[in-house]
Amino acid sequence: MQDRYAYYPGCLASLSQKELDSSTRAIAKKLEIELVEMPSVTCCGAGDIHEAKPDYYLHISARILGQAEQMGCETILTICNVCTLNLRQANKALQEDKDVLNRVNDNLKQVGAATYQGGVDIRHLLWEVSAGEGYDRFKSIAVKSLEGLKVAPFYGCQILRPAKILGFENSDRPESLERLITACGAEPIDYPAKVKCCGFPIVLAREDVALGELVQPLQQATEAGADVIVTPCPLCHLSLDAWQRKASAFAGSDYQIPILHLAQLLGAAAGIEESELKFKRHVTRLSPEVKAKLKVPSAIGTQA
Amino acid sequence: MTEIKNAHFTTLKGAYDTEKMEATLRVRRYDPETKKSRFDNFTVTIPVTASVLDALDAIKDTHDGTLSYRKSCRMAVCGSCGMRVDGGAALACKTPMKKFVDAGHTITVSPMGNLPVIKDLVVDMAPFWQKIRAVKPYLDTRDVDVPEKEWRVEPAASDQIHKESLCILCGCCVSECNSMESDPEFLGPAALAKAYRFVGDARDQDTRERLRDLNGAHGIWDCTRCYFCNQRCPKHVDPRDAIAKLGAESFKEGFTRDEGAKHAKVFVDSTYKGGYLRETELVPKTIGPVNAIKDMPFALQLARAGKVPNPLSPHKAKDNDEVKRLWKLLEKEAKGQPRRANAKHPDAVQGD
């Protein structure tokens, strides 16, 4: 873990999933890390720009990476799987081929944008706090034991695969979330779909296909007796949380499982207040039992 | 434990001289007559250099001759021995046993997913071949005087489809495809990588028809980007990347009417207009305003939780004029380049 990061919250945490941004800022303060704002960045493209306009994707990514470099930051901190993969994928392409990097930089120069020398790394919050010194720092601030809370980890795809771009841990048997859940004093719940897709990238274009994917983690985590699901990705969160009722209708079930952002779970264990964790901004509300187990000070989201 | 002395190992020079190890495998069995599944455990003594396929051979030779699985080349070329090892599809011949034995781990071997099981580890590849056939896996050379000898292609043009040409049709990418689990008719990673192998071929004359067909239901926009295919492919074809390339080719050729393409276009336009994604434009522009209105109760649920950003004051990043200029520059550059269809002939060089 470093003391200073260029902070790239991405679109969702800045717009519809603001609770993730505020929870992250609160936990960063506790961890004593400085988050340097990046006011001129664009969306990472979410894989969509990579697919539609790959050359443009490479250029806007280089522009983001170049801005971090000019701010004197070695590392961009991400809080979204999709941002992590897209920025790392572009970074790899730029770092591995000098001709590509030079051409991109020539174009960036022409439009007056920051160029990129190739010296930036992109790390997800999950990676920074689940291992090494960052894990020790988190352990030291996790003052509240969330004992009795059963947490189903949901990794999402783009923090695990492709491993040659992400590669933080074994993509079939990850354990970083379990390690953090345990560090919070809670109990990790195991289920096969924890490494599978939430369906979010195609939930608008192919809703039925996406819902067929989404029901798996909801069903399995519910059956395994989880109180909540925690995820490091705001897209997975939106899918699992906001589309939960549609998934219930699709599967003929009635899922009622609250979904936490990773930063919210860490924040609860660190004693951060509801005003910053903002559980009220979830579509699937926390039940009084779960509220009690999360031990968050002041009033938190109630059953709608 | 039975010492294995069969023709298979004696053909491996020096195999008998190598150190032996004892390995246990948990193998999923399926009997098509009773339609019942079970797991059998087998312990075999095998050379330390043995693969999962060697271990299965040892089981078949010394324990149970009825164990069924496919194999042929034993060297990761033929693509016959795709199966799940601990739940992940892999070539049995390319997966060494030693790391599992050293870890004291009993592996579970089971048939590939997303394909019907015929017996034990043998799956019915018919749906797989049907999808490969559906993408017309052959060159269309209509209206071209095909050279009598070889039709040489410049290395740069050949590089475009090098990765996709490495596919051995083993099915490992299909096994864990999350979209195919949900939509069995999805063409899937193997067929789509094959499709790109021809869309990207400088000699092929069928680009537009191919892309038109791939932009419909069960086509490229069904891909949920779970990246299991890239992770599983034993030949590093990276089928997901091939699907992304098909998306880019579709945009170049103007196939942008699929909801998936419209979705992608909102992201492109958002960065141009303001920086971050314009979330409120995503739904109506992807599924159309009528469907968006039908989905209003759902939108209200989101709005109640504060998840609908104000559409009247969208996010504006600082210095976004740079992005606008960048977009214009790249579009101009792309226009200056010949379109793919026209680029084909100069790239293709007739043989001597």
User: Tens digits of per-residue pLDDT, A183-196?
Assistant: 999 999 999 999 99
Average pLDDT over residues B105-114: 98
**Does residue A32 surpass a pLDDT of 80?**
yes
Instruction: Provide CB contacts within 8 A for A204, sequence distance 6+.
Output: B259, B263, B282, B283, B286, B287
The string of pLDDT tens digits covering residues A47-79 is 999 999 999 999 999 999 999 999 999 999 999
**What residues of B are in contact with residue A235 (Cβ under 8 Å)?**
none
Three-class SS of residue B118?
strand
Average pLDDT over residues B6-31: 76
How many other C-beta atoms are found inside a 10 Å radius of the C-beta of residue B81? 26
Choose the closest CB to A113 out of B238, B244, B326. Answer: B326
Q: What is the ipTM of this complex?
A: 0.95
| A90 Cα to chain B: minimum distance (Å) | 13
Do β-strands A4-8 and A75-78 pair in parallel, antiparallel, or remain unpaired?
Answer: parallel
pLDDT value at residue B17: 67
User: What is the residue-averaged pLDDT of chain A?
Assistant: 96
How many other C-beta atoms are found inside a 10 Å radius of the C-beta of residue A273? 15
Interface of B with A in 189-228 (CB under 8 A): 221-228
The answer to whether the Cβ–Cβ distance between B277 and A11 falls below 8 Å is yes
Percent of chain B residues topping a pLDDT of 70: 91
Mutate to test the interface with A, among B95, B175, B178 (most CBs of A within 10 A): B178
- Residue in chain B nearest A18 by alpha carbon: B307
Q: Indicate the CATH number of B21-123 among 3.30.565.10, 3.30.450.40, 3.10.20.30, 3.90.280.10.
A: 3.10.20.30
The string of pLDDT tens digits covering residues B302-348 is 888 988 888 777 778 999 999 999 999 999 999 888 655 444 444 44
| B150 Cα to chain A: minimum distance (Å) | 32
Do β-strands A121-124 and A150-153 pair in parallel, antiparallel, or remain unpaired?
Answer: unpaired
**What residues of B are in contact with residue A195 (Cβ under 8 Å)?**
none
Average pLDDT over residues B192-211: 96
Average pLDDT over residues B296-300: 86
The answer to whether the Cβ–Cβ distance between B305 and A113 falls below 8 Å is no
* Chains A–B, number of C-beta pairs less than 8 Å apart: 212
- Residue in chain B nearest A15 by alpha carbon: B309
**Does residue A224 surpass a pLDDT of 50?**
yes
pLDDT value at residue A250: 97
Mutate to test the interface with B, among A20, A41, A42, A216 (most CBs of B within 10 A): A42
Q: In what order do the strands lie in the sheet with A75-78?
A: A34-36, A4-8, A75-78, A121-124
Three-class SS of residue B142?
coil
What single DSSP character describes residue A217? Answer: H
The string of pLDDT tens digits covering residues B55-91 is 999 999 999 999 999 999 999 999 999 999 999 999 9
pLDDT value at residue B290: 86
Instruction: Provide CB contacts within 8 A for B223, sequence distance 6+.
Output: A202, B179, B186, B189, B192, B240, B243
With an 8 Å Cβ cutoff, is A161 touching chain B?
yes
- Domain boundaries of chain B, sorted by first residue: 21-123, 126-252
Rounded Cα gap, residues A208 and B331, in angstroms? 35
**Does residue A301 surpass a pLDDT of 90?**
no
Residue B297 near residue A64 (C-beta atoms within 8 A): no
Three-class SS of residue A38?
coil
Interface of A with B in 70-129 (CB under 8 A): 107-108, 110-113
Domains of chain A: 4-125 (1.20.1050.140), 144-294 (3.40.50.11810)
DSSP characters for B307-318? Answer: -S--TTS----T
Residue B272 near residue B327 (C-beta atoms within 8 A): yes
Q: Which fold has domain B126-252?
A: Fumarate Reductase Iron-sulfur Protein; Chain B, domain 2 (1.10.1060)
SS3 for A129-159, per residue? HHCHHHHHHHHHHCCCCCCCCEEEECCCCCC
User: What is the residue-averaged pLDDT of chain B?
Assistant: 90
| B16 Cα to chain A: minimum distance (Å) | 34
How does residue B352 score in pLDDT terms, banded at 50, 70 and 90?
A: very low
Looking at per-residue confidence, does B312 or A131 come out higher?
Answer: A131
Residue A214 near residue A172 (C-beta atoms within 8 A): no
Interface of A with B in 187-246 (CB under 8 A): 192, 196-197, 199, 201-202, 204-206, 208-213, 238, 242, 245-246
Q: Please name the residue ranges forming H helices in chain A.
A: 10-14, 18-30, 48-52, 54-70, 81-96, 98-110, 125-130, 132-141, 176-183, 207-223, 234-242, 244-251, 262-269, 274-277, 288-294
Looking at per-residue confidence, does B142 or B53 come out higher?
Answer: B53
